[in-house]
């Protein structure tokens, strides 16, 4: 088992162990670990030359792409904090996020030049923009840098890191269905702990090939990248799930072993004719975001009889919280399981009393994966992340109602 202190070491250690192994397949591009490491080092040096320092926030407004993967690791290599913003985010929400965490630089596609001029007027903290994709960019604006030029003119030497595992790695903005988006602060140790815990119960190895159709702005999508690079597997990164047949062809072609999905994706899959595709390489599927109804679980298992299904529950504030061991799917298909390895959960009433089997209360989470709070919002942080009774640590109060059975399995209410 590799030991990691900083998130960029997922890439760095795999680049040492598996330099020539294909790490990332995205569209027509196939990149090895050493190629990604080389590009990430170049971009990191380029950003550093332009003044990005330890603790600065750099926003990435890109679709799932090679450039997005390289940017994530490059920002970490600068000891800075990356913020992935979904590339479909509306301008007002985008500007809110950029101003909320006072980003120093924004990496986006050159097709967004008209947008970046607007952003420039409303976001005074942005010192420069990096534009990917080249075309339509004349390069005569001082604030605008071309991705290719920045990489070509920078060294591939790795920058010595000053960060420790308590430093922030990223801000993940939750959708903000109620009010404005909130930036969940994840430090390096939060992410590394969650990655190690999840890959341990899924049983990942370097032979795993994982296809990801989820946006990297969504923690479930982002962690597929981190998990695969931590164990030296291969990630097939798709733009989305708009063309299911194309995704299924990729599963067949790349001999994919792992498929992370959400209920909407699974309902499309189980209603498709899958006979044209050889999906026999699939070893496991995971579900989170919302619970799968038991009938739905049964349909997935009938459709993919040889595949192990992991039903899970999590929230951005703790990454992953509960998982149902696959052996329990027949016994209690409506449960979302037990605490992930190395963590503890229980149910409390409104007075802070722990509840027993059959009683309904709020799920409370304890562990190294409990994030650091919300960026710039102490009041909201104090509501969600509260001190534990004795030890100076913080617990996450999920705001979700659960009950537990006699054997300690949890059910979402």
Mean pLDDT, rounded, of the chain = 93
**Comparison of pLDDT for 284 and 299, the residue scoring more:** 284
Asked if pLDDT for residue 2 goes beyond 70, the answer is no
pTM of the predicted model, to two decimals?
0.96
Lay out the sheet containing 22-26: strands in order across: 29-32, 22-26, 234-237, 209-212, 258-261, 284-287, 308-313, 322-324, 338-339
236 falls in which pLDDT band (50, 70, 90)? very high
145 falls in which pLDDT band (50, 70, 90)? very high
Tell me how far the alpha carbon of residue 32 is from its chain's centroid: 21
CA distance 124 to 128: 10
Structure tokens of 49?
């030359």
Residue 390 pLDDT: 79
Asked if pLDDT for residue 112 goes beyond 90, the answer is no
Across 19-36, average pLDDT: 98
CA distance 169 to 119: 24
177 falls in which pLDDT band (50, 70, 90)? low
8 falls in which pLDDT band (50, 70, 90)? very high
CA distance 317 to 337: 18
Across 228-236, average pLDDT: 98
Taking 3-state DSSP, the helix, strand and coil percentages for the chain, each rounded to the nearest 5, stand at 30, 25, 45
Residue 118 pLDDT: 87
Across 372-397, average pLDDT: 92
Q: Which of 47-56, 109-118, 290-299, 347-356 is the least confident region?
A: 290-299
Structure tokens of 143?
């604030």
What percentage of the chain reaches a pLDDT higher than 90?
82
DSSP letter at 328 equals: G
Residues 99-108 have pLDDT tens digits of 999 999 999 9
Residues 264-282 have pLDDT tens digits of 999 999 899 999 999 999 9
CA distances from 236 to 66, 221, 358 (A): 11, 12, 42
Phi first, then psi: give them for residue 146, nearest 5 degrees: -85, 130
* Burial category of 99 from C-beta neighbours within 10 Å (exposed 0-12, middle 13-18, buried 19 and up): middle
Asked if pLDDT for residue 218 goes beyond 90, the answer is yes
- Asked if 201 and 322 touch (Cβ cutoff 8 Å), the reply is no
Residues 125-137 have pLDDT tens digits of 999 999 998 755 5
Q: Which of 136-150, 334-348, 358-372 is the least confident region?
A: 136-150
* 3-state secondary structure (DSSP) of residue 211: strand
What percentage of the chain reaches a pLDDT higher than 70?
97
């Amino acid at each position: 088992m590799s030991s990691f202190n900083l998130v960029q070491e997922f890439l760095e250690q795999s680049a040492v162990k598996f330099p020539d192994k294909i790490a990332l397949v995205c569209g027509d591009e196939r990149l090895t670990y050493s190629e990604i490491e080389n590009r990430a080092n170049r971009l990191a040096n380029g950003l550093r030359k332009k003044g990005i320092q330890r603790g600065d926030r750099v926003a990435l407004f890109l679709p799932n792409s090679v450039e997005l993967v390289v940017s994530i690791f490059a920002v970490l290599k600068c000891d800075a904090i990356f913020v992935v913003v979904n590339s479909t985010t509306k301008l007002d929400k985008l500007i809110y996020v950029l101003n909320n965490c006072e980003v120093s630089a924004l990496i986006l596609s050159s097709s967004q030049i008209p947008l970046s001029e607007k952003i420039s007027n409303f976001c005074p903290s942005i010192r420069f923009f990096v534009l990917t994709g080249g075309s339509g960019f004349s390069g005569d604006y001082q604030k605008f840098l071309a991705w290719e030029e920045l990489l070509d003119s920078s060294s591939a030497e790795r920058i010595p890191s000053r960060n420790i595992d308590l430093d922030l790695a990223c801000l993940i903005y939750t959708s903000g269905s109620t009010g404005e988006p909130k930036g969940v602060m994840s430090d390096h140790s939060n992410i590394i702990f969650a990655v190690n815990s999840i890959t341990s119960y899924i049983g990942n190895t370097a032979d795993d090939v994982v296809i990801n159709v989820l946006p990297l702005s969504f923690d479930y999508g982002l962690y597929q990248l981190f998990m695969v690079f931590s164990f030296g597997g291969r990630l097939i990164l798709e733009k989305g799930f708009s063309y299911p047949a194309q995704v299924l062809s990729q599963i067949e072609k790349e001999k994919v072993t792992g498929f992370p999905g959400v209920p909407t994706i699974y309902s499309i899959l189980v209603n498709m004719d899958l006979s044209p595709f050889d999906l026999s390489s699939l070893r496991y599927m995971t579900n989170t975001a919302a619970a799968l109804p038991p009938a739905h679980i049964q349909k997935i298992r009938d459709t993919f009889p040889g595949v192990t299904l992991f039903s899970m529950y999590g929230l951005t504030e703790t990454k992953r919280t509960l998982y149902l061991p696959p052996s329990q799917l027949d016994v209690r298909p409506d449960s979302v399981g037990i605490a992930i390895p190395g963590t503890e959960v229980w149910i409390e009433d409104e007075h802070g009393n722990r509840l027993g089997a059959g009683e309904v209360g709020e799920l409370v989470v304890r562990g190294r994966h409990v994030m650091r709070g919300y960026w710039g919002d102490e009041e909201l942080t104090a509501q969600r992340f509260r001190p534990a009774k004795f030890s100076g640590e913080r617990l996450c109060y999920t705001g979700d109602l659960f009950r537990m059975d006699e054997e300690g399995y949890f059910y979402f209410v």
